[in-house]
Amino acid sequence: MGFALEEPGDNVIIRRVNGSGTVISKITGDDGRLPYDIFLNTASVPVLAMKKDFGIDIGLEIEIHKKMPFGSGLGSSAASSVAATYAFNELAGLSLSKKEMLGYALKGEMIASGTIHADNIAPCLYGGFTLIRGYNPIDVVDIDYPNELYCTIIHPDIEISTRMAREILPKEIQLSTAIKQWGNCSGLVAGLLKNDFELIGRSMEDFVAEPLRSKLIPHFDLIKRLALSNGAVGCSISGSGPSIFAITKGQTNAINIVQSIKESLSNKDLKFDYYISKINKKGPKVLYIK
């Protein structure tokens, strides 16, 4: 499962130029880390695939403005891939559905992670809460949720590789652990659909990834304890980390959580950014056309 944030996000600009090739002309916000090679960049790869599949022989220039932090567990590579897919669909007038765009966006995500997984791509593209039921074929399910739901993101100033975070997970889990995890997954979906914040909170205990990945995040236990004691319905790790997210009912509690964590970590050697956001219902959007 995953959900989309209003912020942060990436901006991708695609413009038509002379010729028939595709180039990445500018990248900002990446500290020089992203490749300009169009076959290795998460934004250009889906565009190349769409050009090929639909026989579009036009010149393109791509600009990528990164605002989603790297290695944050927030879906940085997915943000660029979805933005570029959505932008080219608009520019080329393809009128693809989001389901049709999904496959192309996944090609960009695979460049970054080495595997096909839609837990970031699907909510980024569809907006709202999404559930990936299966992959053969891929089955994305929209989940309704309470309108007053807010999310507080604490992003420590460290990076955790998605691949490394996956490697530390167990290849097998005990049946008793799996039963508890399945119960909470089901409870979370039911809580969202029923607008039952107490059920959402009871269902947000992760028995598989959090116990292992939390050890990679400095002061995780303190941050989670502060979030829960200042109005969070639930709190856990976003993706592979190090970002930590807290679900709240309303904006006031979300602000209180940030203030409490800022005060408590002021004398500790950990810098962090924070974001307060409602759930993004629509996914990507066109900012301007010229």
Q: What is the pLDDT of residues 124-171, one digit of tens each?
A: 999 999 999 999 889 999 999 999 999 999 999 888 877 778 888 999
Q: Which of 93, 86, 31, 33 is nearest to 62 (CA)?
A: 86
Reference 216, options 196, 248, 239, 246; nearest CA is 239
Among all chains, which residue has been given the structure tokens 């039921």?
133
Q: Are residues 116 and 13 in the same domain?
A: yes
Same domain as 100, residue 50:
yes
d(CA 54, CA 96): 11
Q: Which of 130, 162, 210, 248 is catalytic?
A: 162
> Would you state the pLDDT for residue 152?
96
- Please give the pLDDT value at position 116: 73
Indicate which CATH number applies to the domain containing 133.
3.30.230.10
Could you say which of 22, 109, 152, 210 is catalytic? Answer: 109
Indicate whether 136 and 235 sit together in one domain: no
pLDDT at 180 exceeding the cut of 90 = yes
Dist. CA 230–CA 207, nearest whole Å: 23
- The answer on 256 and 135 residing in a single domain is no
Q: What is the pLDDT of residue 240?
A: 85
| 247 plus 171 within the same structural domain | yes
Which helix (H) or strand (E) covers residue 90, if one does? Answer: helix 76-91
Please tell me the predicted confidence (pLDDT) of residue 107: 93
Burial class (CB in 10 A: 0-12, 13-18, 19+), 290: exposed
Among residues 205, 169, 166, 164, the alpha carbon closest in space to that of 184 is found at 205
User: Taking 90 as the threshold, does the pLDDT of residue 241 lie above it?
Assistant: no
Mean pLDDT (the chain) is 93
Provide the terminal-to-terminal Cα distance of the chain, rounded to the nearest Å. Answer: 36
CB-based burial label for 3 (10 Å; 0-12, 13-18, 19+): buried
What values do phi and psi take at 28, rounded to 5? -125, 160
Give yes or no: residues 96 and 21 share one domain. Answer: yes
Which of 142, 158, 179 is at the close of a domain? Answer: 142
Domain boundary among 116, 142, 168: 142
pTM (predicted TM-score)? 0.91
Instruction: Answer yes or no: is pLDDT of 113 > 80.
Output: no
Q: Which residue pairs, CB below 8 angstroms and at least 24 apart, start in 201-208?
A: 201/233, 201/234, 201/247, 203/234, 204/233, 204/234, 204/235, 204/236, 204/247, 205/180, 205/234, 206/181, 206/236, 206/237, 207/177, 207/180, 207/181, 208/169, 208/170, 208/173, 208/177, 208/181
DSSP helix/strand/coil, 177: helix
Distances (CA, A) of 12 to 27, 61, 171, 276: 9, 11, 37, 23
CA distance 108 to 87: 14
User: 217 with 268, same domain?
Assistant: yes
Boundaries of domain holding 134: 2-142
50 in Cβ contact with 94 (< 8 Å): yes
Summarize pLDDT for 68-85 with one digit per residue, the tens: 888 788 988 999 999 999
Domain containing residue 177: CATH number? 3.30.70.890
Our answer to whether residue 162 is catalytic in this structure is yes
Q: Are residues 133 and 202 in the same domain?
A: no
Confidence of residue 285 (pLDDT cuts 50, 70, 90): very high
Tell me the C-alpha distance between 185 and 205, whole Å.
9
In the predicted model, what is the mean pLDDT of residues 248-261?
95
Q: Is the pLDDT of residue 47 over 90?
A: yes
